[in-house]
Protein backbone atom coordinates (compact mmCIF):
# COMPACT_ATOMS: atom_id res chain seq x y z
CA UNK A 1 0.00 0.00 0.00
CA UNK A 2 2.89 2.29 0.81
CA UNK A 3 4.43 1.67 -2.58
CA UNK A 4 1.14 2.53 -4.29
CA UNK A 5 0.96 5.85 -2.48
CA UNK A 6 4.55 6.63 -3.39
CA UNK A 7 3.80 5.80 -7.06
CA UNK A 8 0.70 8.08 -7.08
CA UNK A 9 2.67 10.92 -5.49
CA UNK A 10 5.43 10.52 -8.07
CA UNK A 11 2.81 10.63 -10.87
CA UNK A 12 1.26 13.88 -9.55
CA UNK A 13 4.72 15.44 -9.12
CA UNK A 14 5.70 14.54 -12.68
CA UNK A 15 2.39 15.93 -14.03
CA UNK A 16 3.00 19.18 -12.18
CA UNK A 17 6.44 19.55 -13.72
CA UNK A 18 5.05 18.97 -17.21
CA UNK A 19 2.32 21.58 -16.71
CA UNK A 20 4.84 24.05 -15.30
CA UNK A 21 6.99 23.76 -18.41
CA UNK A 22 4.04 24.41 -20.79
CA UNK A 23 3.91 27.95 -22.27
CA UNK A 24 1.37 30.23 -20.69
CA UNK A 25 -1.81 30.74 -22.66
CA UNK A 26 -1.78 33.99 -24.54
CA UNK A 27 -3.93 36.67 -23.10
CA UNK A 28 -7.08 37.26 -25.13
CA UNK A 29 -7.48 40.73 -26.53
CA UNK A 30 -10.96 42.08 -26.69
CA UNK A 31 -11.56 43.47 -30.18
CA UNK A 32 -13.87 46.42 -30.23
CA UNK A 33 -16.38 46.45 -33.05
CA UNK A 34 -17.48 49.99 -32.37
CA UNK A 35 -17.55 52.22 -35.45
CA UNK A 36 -15.09 55.07 -35.47
CA UNK A 37 -16.43 58.32 -36.86
CA UNK A 38 -14.04 60.67 -38.60
CA UNK A 39 -15.12 64.27 -38.58
CA UNK A 40 -15.10 65.51 -42.14
CA UNK A 41 -14.20 69.04 -43.04
CA UNK A 42 -17.21 71.16 -43.85
CA UNK A 43 -17.20 72.57 -47.36
CA UNK A 44 -18.59 76.05 -47.85
CA UNK A 45 -21.25 76.82 -50.43
CA UNK A 46 -18.88 79.24 -52.14
CA UNK A 47 -16.19 76.57 -52.42
CA UNK A 48 -18.62 74.15 -54.04
CA UNK A 49 -19.87 76.80 -56.43
CA UNK A 50 -16.30 77.56 -57.53
CA UNK A 51 -15.98 74.04 -58.96
CA UNK A 52 -18.54 74.72 -61.66
CA UNK A 53 -17.31 77.04 -64.37
CA UNK A 54 -18.91 78.11 -67.61
CA UNK A 55 -20.15 75.42 -69.95
CA UNK A 56 -22.02 75.12 -73.25
CA UNK A 57 -25.27 76.99 -73.80
CA UNK A 58 -28.17 76.38 -76.17
CA UNK A 59 -30.44 78.58 -78.20
CA UNK A 60 -34.00 78.36 -76.98
CA UNK A 61 -37.15 80.12 -75.91
CA UNK A 62 -37.32 80.88 -72.15
CA UNK A 63 -41.10 81.30 -72.27
CA UNK A 64 -41.48 77.89 -73.90
CA UNK A 65 -39.32 76.37 -71.14
CA UNK A 66 -41.49 78.02 -68.50
CA UNK A 67 -44.77 76.88 -70.07
CA UNK A 68 -43.50 73.33 -70.58
CA UNK A 69 -42.41 73.13 -66.94
CA UNK A 70 -45.92 74.05 -65.80
CA UNK A 71 -47.36 71.05 -67.69
CA UNK A 72 -45.65 68.82 -65.10
CA UNK A 73 -47.11 70.73 -62.14
CA UNK A 74 -48.40 68.33 -59.49
CA UNK A 75 -46.55 65.26 -60.84
CA UNK A 76 -45.57 63.06 -57.85
CA UNK A 77 -41.95 63.07 -56.71
CA UNK A 78 -39.91 59.90 -56.38
CA UNK A 79 -36.14 59.67 -55.94
CA UNK A 80 -34.76 58.19 -59.15
CA UNK A 81 -38.11 58.56 -60.91
CA UNK A 82 -37.89 59.49 -64.58
CA UNK A 83 -41.28 58.64 -66.06
CA UNK A 84 -44.16 60.95 -66.85
CA UNK A 85 -45.92 59.70 -63.70
CA UNK A 86 -43.13 60.10 -61.11
CA UNK A 87 -40.07 62.34 -61.30
CA UNK A 88 -37.10 63.51 -59.31
CA UNK A 89 -35.65 67.01 -59.69
CA UNK A 90 -33.06 66.34 -62.39
CA UNK A 91 -35.37 64.10 -64.45
CA UNK A 92 -37.96 66.90 -64.38
CA UNK A 93 -35.44 69.43 -65.71
CA UNK A 94 -34.20 66.99 -68.34
CA UNK A 95 -37.74 66.31 -69.60
CA UNK A 96 -38.66 69.99 -69.78
CA UNK A 97 -35.56 70.88 -71.78
CA UNK A 98 -35.81 67.77 -73.96
CA UNK A 99 -39.36 68.78 -74.92
CA UNK A 100 -37.82 71.99 -76.23
CA UNK A 101 -35.11 70.26 -78.26
CA UNK A 102 -32.34 70.68 -75.67
CA UNK A 103 -30.62 67.57 -74.34
CA UNK A 104 -29.27 67.84 -70.80
CA UNK A 105 -27.68 65.08 -68.70
CA UNK A 106 -29.80 63.07 -66.26
CA UNK A 107 -27.88 64.00 -63.10
CA UNK A 108 -28.14 67.44 -61.44
CA UNK A 109 -24.36 67.67 -60.92
CA UNK A 110 -23.81 67.02 -64.63
CA UNK A 111 -26.51 69.56 -65.51
CA UNK A 112 -24.65 72.13 -63.39
CA UNK A 113 -21.71 71.97 -65.83
CA UNK A 114 -23.81 73.63 -68.55
CA UNK A 115 -24.38 77.34 -69.04
CA UNK A 116 -22.76 80.27 -67.29
CA UNK A 117 -23.33 81.63 -63.82
CA UNK A 118 -25.72 84.49 -63.19
CA UNK A 119 -26.49 86.25 -59.91
CA UNK A 120 -29.90 86.16 -58.25
CA UNK A 121 -30.46 89.76 -59.30
CA UNK A 122 -29.90 88.78 -62.96
CA UNK A 123 -32.22 85.79 -63.05
CA UNK A 124 -34.46 85.28 -66.05
CA UNK A 125 -37.15 82.65 -66.69
CA UNK A 126 -35.56 79.41 -67.85
CA UNK A 127 -32.42 79.76 -65.71
CA UNK A 128 -31.46 76.76 -63.59
CA UNK A 129 -31.02 77.04 -59.82
CA UNK A 130 -28.75 74.60 -58.00
CA UNK A 131 -28.83 73.71 -54.31
CA UNK A 132 -26.93 71.67 -51.75
CA UNK A 133 -29.58 69.69 -49.87
CA UNK A 134 -28.81 66.15 -48.73
CA UNK A 135 -25.25 65.98 -50.15
CA UNK A 136 -22.15 68.15 -49.81
CA UNK A 137 -22.41 69.08 -53.46
CA UNK A 138 -25.11 69.85 -56.01
CA UNK A 139 -28.07 67.66 -55.12
CA UNK A 140 -31.14 69.65 -56.19
CA UNK A 141 -32.12 71.70 -59.23
CA UNK A 142 -35.09 73.85 -60.14
CA UNK A 143 -36.19 76.08 -63.03
CA UNK A 144 -36.66 79.79 -62.43
CA UNK A 145 -40.05 80.99 -63.72
CA UNK A 146 -39.91 84.63 -62.70
CA UNK A 147 -41.21 86.76 -59.83
CA UNK A 148 -38.78 85.16 -57.36
CA UNK A 149 -40.24 81.69 -57.91
CA UNK A 150 -38.98 78.37 -59.20
CA UNK A 151 -40.69 75.18 -60.26
CA UNK A 152 -39.05 71.93 -59.15
CA UNK A 153 -39.70 68.32 -58.21
CA UNK A 154 -39.39 68.59 -54.45
CA UNK A 155 -38.91 65.93 -51.80
CA UNK A 156 -40.37 68.28 -49.19
CA UNK A 157 -43.62 68.71 -51.10
CA UNK A 158 -43.62 65.27 -52.68
CA UNK A 159 -44.45 66.62 -56.12
CA UNK A 160 -43.56 69.10 -58.83
CA UNK A 161 -44.38 72.39 -57.18
CA UNK A 162 -43.68 76.12 -57.20
CA UNK A 163 -41.60 77.59 -54.38
CA UNK A 164 -40.19 80.98 -53.53
CA UNK A 165 -36.42 81.09 -53.92
CA UNK A 166 -36.39 83.39 -50.88
CA UNK A 167 -37.66 80.71 -48.49
CA UNK A 168 -35.07 80.27 -45.71
CA UNK A 169 -34.65 76.57 -46.53
CA UNK A 170 -33.60 77.29 -50.12
CA UNK A 171 -31.68 80.49 -49.37
CA UNK A 172 -29.44 78.62 -46.92
CA UNK A 173 -28.74 75.83 -49.41
CA UNK A 174 -28.46 77.87 -52.61
CA UNK A 175 -25.23 77.31 -54.56
CA UNK A 176 -25.52 79.16 -57.87
CA UNK A 177 -27.71 79.81 -60.90
CA UNK A 178 -26.83 78.97 -64.49
CA UNK A 179 -28.17 80.37 -67.76
CA UNK A 180 -28.33 77.39 -70.05
CA UNK A 181 -30.40 78.88 -72.86
CA UNK A 182 -29.89 82.05 -74.80
CA UNK A 183 -33.09 83.60 -76.13
CA UNK A 184 -33.47 83.21 -79.87
CA UNK A 185 -32.38 86.44 -81.45
CA UNK A 186 -35.25 88.48 -82.72
CA UNK A 187 -34.69 90.57 -85.80
CA UNK A 188 -34.78 94.15 -84.60
CA UNK A 189 -35.93 96.83 -86.97
CA UNK A 190 -33.11 99.01 -88.24
CA UNK A 191 -34.51 102.60 -88.38
CA UNK A 192 -31.69 103.83 -90.64
CA UNK A 193 -32.26 100.99 -93.11
CA UNK A 194 -35.97 101.81 -93.12
CA UNK A 195 -35.25 105.50 -93.93
CA UNK A 196 -32.90 104.53 -96.76
CA UNK A 197 -35.42 102.07 -98.20
CA UNK A 198 -38.25 104.62 -97.96
CA UNK A 199 -36.25 107.41 -99.60
CA UNK A 200 -34.90 105.27 -102.42
CA UNK A 201 -38.33 103.88 -103.27
CA UNK A 202 -39.95 107.28 -103.78
- Long-range contacts, 34-38 (Cβ 8 Å, 24+): none
Q: Which of 10, 33, 89, 166 is catalytic?
A: 89
Separation CA 148–CA 143 (nearest Å): 11
- DSSP-assigned states of every residue in 82-110: BSSSSB-HHHHHHHHHHTTT----SSHHH
Secondary structure string (H, E, C) spanning 123-152: CCCCCEEEECCCCCCCCEEEEEEECCEEEE
Partners of 199 in the beta sheet?
Answer: none
Catalytic residue among 29, 85, 152, 166: 152
- Per the residue annotation, which of 10, 33, 85, 140 is the catalytic one? 140
Distance CA 54, CA 61 (A): 20
Give the separation between CA 183 and CA 161, rounded to whole angstroms.
25
User: Is 152 known to be catalytic?
Assistant: yes
Catalytic residues: 89, 140, 152
Amino acid sequence: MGRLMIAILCLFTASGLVLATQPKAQKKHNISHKKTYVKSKLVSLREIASRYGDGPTFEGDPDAIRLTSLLFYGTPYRFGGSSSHVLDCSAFVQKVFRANGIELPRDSRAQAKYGYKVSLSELKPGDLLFFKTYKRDVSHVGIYIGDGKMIHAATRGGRVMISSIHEPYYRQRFLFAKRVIEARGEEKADPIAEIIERETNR
